[in-house]
Amino acid sequence: MTRRPGALVYGLLAAFVVGSALPLYWSFMIGSHTRERALDTPPPLLPGGHFLDNAGRVLNTIDFWQAMFNSLVVSTVCATSVVVFSTLAGYSFAKLRFRGSGPLMGFVVMTMAVPTQLAIVPLFILMRDYRLLDTLAAVALPTLVTAFGVFFMRQYLFDAVPDELIEAARMDGCSMLRTFWTVAVPAARPAMAILFLFTFMQVWTDYMWPLVALQKTETLQIALDRLALTGQGQSTDYALLLAGTAMATVPLLVLFVLTGRQLVTGIMQGALKG
Amino acid sequence: MTAPAEADTAAQPGNRTATRRAAGSRDGEDPGDGGRGGRRGERRLLRRERRARWDVRLAPYLFVSPFFLVFAVVGMFPLAYTGYLSLHDWDRLAYTRGGFIGLDNFRWVLDDPLFTKSLVNTLSIFAMSSIPQVVIAVTVAALLDQQLRGSTFWRISVLLPFVVAPTAAVLIFGTLFSDRSGLVNELLSSVGLDPIRWHVERWWSHAAISSMVNWRWTGYNALIFLAAMQAVPREVYESASLDGAGRVRQLLHITLPMIRPTMIFVIVTTTIGGLQIFTEPRLFDDTAQREGGADHQYMTMTLYVYVKGIEDQFYGRASAAAWLLFLFIISIVLVNYAATRWLTRRRAL
């Protein structure tokens, strides 16, 4: 039936969306009031004018800009590397025939089920042995490739590149690498963008591995962690804390507003084929 | 692309040898620049053909090898190393590996009451997060799977919490669930209920932690369900509603069985994620140790691995615990896989 949905459907959806947005609203709200006002009962439900004061206090408490820069570097490096390696391997698995491709792909899919946390202890020891602890390289290394990336690109390239196009390029005397570059890469571009976005967000929001790998250096999540620790014990400074989370969340919110459509498409596409 | 006419016939999909030969023969007709025919040209041709053949044979391996090389170093080697460490003693003071001690580490971990406690906590938090998460996600997907005005807007809005880092989410929810002045407790007392000590009482702390997890992932899963639902042919619903089946019955008896593979996919991924929760219990804790509450009442298994391995530097025991966690995840995944298959089996209307 192609009935138009009624008010109930919109009402329920709106309730869900409000529930999704409310905690964020709350953090921006409390973050814009003074420390004392934030503890009032009932709490302030409208924005106050003290966000910049609180932001200034955040900048005094943690090295926010350095942490932001570090997160940006690590996320960009990981996302770029995952996209490059996954596109190459995914193309090979989707379009080229070679001995052992079946078992190798099966292996990749299987490792997707293995939790990364399983290896934090040995990874920590390795980083320590190679004197990489407390460097950004240590944060980036474990995410330079992901099995998911290869799987994702393979699924996408399977349909996105017609075999005839590859044959035609070969016929024109293109080497395999050139064929990859002129035929596969242009077709893979939308999927590459989505994979980049996903990996970027995954690394940006990760807390556990940087916590293990870093000591003095900070990514954004570790800096937030430190911010939470400063007020611990006595009465927590909610205004400071929530101003900090708001500041750390804004960059991804901007990215989300700019790329929301692609993200949604990506999730829905990946699921259809997964 | 200007493929010569003769090549067209050769360019059948799956006919790689013919293609290569055709490519070669084209080169034969049209010798490369500077080629004067004769023996030299022929040799160059041979060389080129050989190179092309190697190119075809080697390129796939060259394309996949960067991934596998890096993966072997940063992915597989540490995993194997975990297994190795779990069978060895570890001298914490000298920072050296001790002798082979077989399954002693595993025995130690299994005997540790803290490990058992973290296992129960993990299961409890997982159940409280994944079950409502999947139920609400299916409902939201069913709502989205209609001819909505502004459907893109709704889809994007539903995804909003996904961009918030778990770290930020815990800090925000931590203030909402604050024991003394939290908004949730104020709401409870305003309707005449007793405030709840979210950070202290075991099962309530699990509920608070689960709410953060659910908040972040429900919309994401809803979109995955939506994708599957949109592939269900609309005629099925038409005939069902002609037969007098309401919306809910349609969802339970048509949609769910038809999106079964996606149900399995989401439940498996949610299970794997839900059993590895770390950030939430670590940061929700406002005691100095941050080991999942003063009484470890919400310490998860991943947090246990972290505390034993990184903080206390019992590498062997932590590695054993990590392997036990892995086995645990695999078994729960298998149970859930079977349960999902059973729940979404085809039922007559």
The interface pTM score, or ipTM, of the predicted complex is 0.90
Check whether A114 has a pLDDT greater than 50. Answer: yes
Distances in whole angstroms, Cα of residue A102 to Cα of each of A97, A99, A114, B127: 9, 8, 19, 36
| pLDDT bucket at A31, cuts 50 / 70 / 90 | confident
Q: How many Cβ atoms are within 10 Å of B54's Cβ, its own excluded?
A: 11
CA-based radius of gyration for chain B: 30
Of the listed ranges A102-116, A141-155, B5-19, the one predicted with least confidence: B5-19
Mean pLDDT (whole number) for B261-272:
87
Q: How many Cβ atoms are within 10 Å of B234's Cβ, its own excluded?
A: 9
pLDDT at residue B5, as a whole number: 39
Of B181, B224, B302, the CB nearest to A39: B181
Check whether A24 has a pLDDT greater than 80. Answer: yes
User: pTM for the full model?
Assistant: 0.86
Closest residue on chain A to B156 (Cα):
A260
Of A26, A96, A164, the CB nearest to B13: A164
User: Judged by CB atoms within 8 Å, which residues 132-161 of B form the interface with A?
Assistant: 136, 139-140, 143-144, 146-148, 152, 154-161
Check whether A43 has a pLDDT greater than 80. Answer: no
Of B20, B85, B234, the CB nearest to A121: B85
Of A86, A97, A121, the CB nearest to B309: A121
Q: Which alpha helices (DSSP H) does A161-207 contain, by range?
A: 163-171, 176-179, 185-205
Q: Does B251 reach chain A within 8 Å, measured CB to CB?
A: no
Task: Write out the two tokens for A163.
Answer: 């075999």
Cβ(B317)–Cβ(B306) under 8 Å?
no
Check whether B20 has a pLDDT greater than 60. Answer: no
d(CA B121, CA A247): 32
Task: Give B220-253 pLDDT, tens digit per residue.
Answer: 999 999 999 998 888 888 888 888 888 888 888 8
Q: Could you give the 3-state DSSP secondary structure of residue A256?
A: helix
Contacts of A180 in chain B (CB under 8 A): 59, 63
pLDDT at residue B74, as a whole number: 85
pLDDT at residue A234, as a whole number: 59
Q: Does A15 reach chain B within 8 Å, measured CB to CB?
A: no
Question: Tell me, what amino acid is at A246?
Answer: A
Check whether A168 has a pLDDT greater than 80. Answer: yes
Query: Is the torsion defined by CA of A49, A51, A57, A60 positive or negative?
Result: negative
CB contact under 8 A, B23 and A274: no
Cβ(B299)–Cβ(B293) under 8 Å?
yes
Task: Write out the two tokens for B73.
Answer: 């170093």
Check whether B25 has a pLDDT greater than 60. Answer: no
Q: Does A141 reach chain B within 8 Å, measured CB to CB?
A: yes
DSSP assignment of B254-282? IIHHHTHHHHHHHHHHHHHHHTT--HHHH
Cis ω before A103 (30° cut-off from 0): no
d(CA A126, CA B201): 39
Q: Does B337 reach chain A within 8 Å, measured CB to CB?
A: no
